[in-house]
Amino acid sequence: MYLRKHVFFLSLSTLFTTLVLAQGQVLDRIIAKVDNHIVLQSELDLAYAQFVASYDGLLPDDTRCRVLETLIINKVLLAKAEIDSVVVDRQQVDEQLNRRMDYFIAQIGSAQRLEEYYGKTIDELKADLRKQVKEQMIIQKMQENITGKIKATPAEVKKFYNDIPKDSLPFFSTEVEVGQIVKKAIINDEQKREARRKLTEIKLRILNGEDFCNFTIYSEDPVSAKKCGELGFFKKGELVPAYEAAALKLKPGEISDVVETEFGFHLIQLIERRGLEYNTRHILIKANSSKKDINASIQFLDDLRKKILADSISFEKAAREYSDDKVTSANGGWFQDPNTGDIRIPMENIDSDIFFIIDTMKVGTISPPITFKLPGGEDAVRLVYYKLKLPPHQANLKDDYQKIYKACLEEKKNNAINQWFDKTKSEVFIEINPDYKNCPILETQ
């Protein structure tokens, strides 16, 4: 809508891209220090590129300085959190990490494609992201401490809107509100027994002298299968609990019994323990759902759809209570724009599978149960609710109040953060590379 003075948090995709690209870089340099925290040139370049890509209009000359200032303020928030003993607990970090990984998987299409693209397992990617996610959560907690009580009144929203030059009001393309309720096909005991039987047979053959690596061709973890099932070194707490517990009971070279996790069934061999780290290889076999399992999920959602249509339960409540999709269920079933988090999504940002479903639906209707594959390849069924379609239009208070309210509130919060920064920057050590001496970051606003 207009250039924000600060953009406090990189998007999820930028956070992930920063991590992956930084790993492949040979040369980088520190351009700012805040106590024990640093800002790298690569961080600035990526944050600047993201801002340029998302900004609609002529960029001011000092945009790069403003983005750098945002990064430095984030580091000051981290440094001040250390001084004030502001922390986030491990469980919260794990939950946030899982949600973000679910988001990445949904964006790329499947867990397998994500692993193949980056050449790492999901657990390895989570380990790489953990520090960044934890730091971002601390930054968010600090920001909440500063701005949590700030609100925007309707009068302030109206004034904010009226102060925007009419020729600068954004034009929104066709937008939709779409939700889903997902039910996984529950795998029956017979299918689970078959997966266990296969791995038990493989274990016996290995114990009788055959090579573990010969059996990784049967593993449904495509990334590790190419490396004899090897995952690499992990610290305690970085892999799923059941897998880790079984692995840490082994001596180097020993093979576990069959272990069940959320990913399927594993045969694990401990390769090496090194201090607090350990390296394992595994063979993963997933139990497949049967047609009967899928039909049971179809029947469940068909009954739930009838209750929603009869107003016995709202769509949002049904999604929160019954949907197996973690990303949408927490939001009452609604898909969100990956760029803004809004439930009103530009049609061009809708997932292609959902686009083709709603293309055959009338606005205000709920689809019958539709079978599909989850990102990890599991069978599932979903209801799709096509709630709203808004034609292209210029921003106005009637149709876009929530967006304008968010922009107004963001400006008030940014102003509060700016004031906090001016008061706090003297409490920490800040050093900026001379190449950026023309950026008036340390000047009082």
pLDDT tens per residue across span 344-371 = 999 999 999 999 999 999 999 999 999 9
Assess contact for 278 and 270: CB atoms under 8 A: yes
Assess contact for 354 and 360: CB atoms under 8 A: no
Tokens 């750098």 belong to which residue? 68
Residues 6+ apart with CB under 8 A from 248: 236, 270, 278
Q: What is the pLDDT of residue 114?
A: 83
Assess contact for 402 and 342: CB atoms under 8 A: yes
Q: What is the pLDDT of residue 445?
A: 55
The DSSP element (H or E) to which 183 belongs, if any, is strand 175-184
Q: What is the pLDDT of residue 104?
A: 82
Region of 165 (left: φ > 0; alpha: ψ -120 to 50; beta: rest) is: beta
Q: Which of 64-78, 114-128, 170-184, 286-300 is predicted least confidently?
A: 114-128
Up-side HSE of residue 138: CA atoms within 13 Å toward CB?
24
Q: Per the structure block, which two tokens stand in for 384? A: 């799709």
Highest mean pLDDT among 144-148, 168-172, 273-277: 144-148
pLDDT tens per residue across span 374-404 = 876 788 999 999 999 999 999 999 999 989 9
pLDDT tens per residue across span 213-271 = 999 999 999 889 999 999 988 888 888 899 999 999 999 999 999 999 988 999 999 99
Mean per-residue pLDDT for 104-115?
77
C-alpha–C-alpha distance, residues 69 and 246, integer Å:
47
Q: What is the pLDDT of residue 27?
A: 59
Length of the chain: 445
Q: What is the mean pLDDT of the chain?
A: 88
Is the pLDDT at 58 greater than 90, yes or no? Answer: no
C-alpha–C-alpha distance, residues 445 and 438, integer Å:
15
Q: What is the pLDDT of residue 159?
A: 96
Which amino acid belongs to residue 432? I
β-strand partners of 390: 175
Q: What percent of the chain has pLDDT over 90?
A: 65
Q: Which of 15-19, 93-97, 353-357 is predicted least confidently?
A: 15-19
Is the pLDDT at 294 greater than 80, yes or no? Answer: yes
Q: Which residue has the higher pLDDT, 301 or 13?
A: 301
Mean per-residue pLDDT for 429-441?
91
If pLDDT is split at 50, 70 and 90, which confidence band does 18 have?
very low
Is the pLDDT at 208 greater than 80, yes or no? Answer: yes
pLDDT tens per residue across span 165-187 = 998 898 999 999 999 999 999 88
Q: What is the pLDDT of residue 24?
A: 45
Q: What is the pLDDT of residue 444?
A: 59
If pLDDT is split at 50, 70 and 90, which confidence band does 413 have?
very high
Q: What is the pLDDT of residue 90?
A: 87
Is the pLDDT at 26 greater than 80, yes or no? Answer: no
313: nearest Cα among 388, 370, 366, 381: 366
Domains and CATH numbers, the chain: 12-167+396-436 (1.10.4030.10), 171-186+290-394 (3.10.50.40), 189-285 (3.10.50.40)
Q: Which of 23-27, 39-43, 354-358, 433-437 is predicted least confidently?
A: 23-27
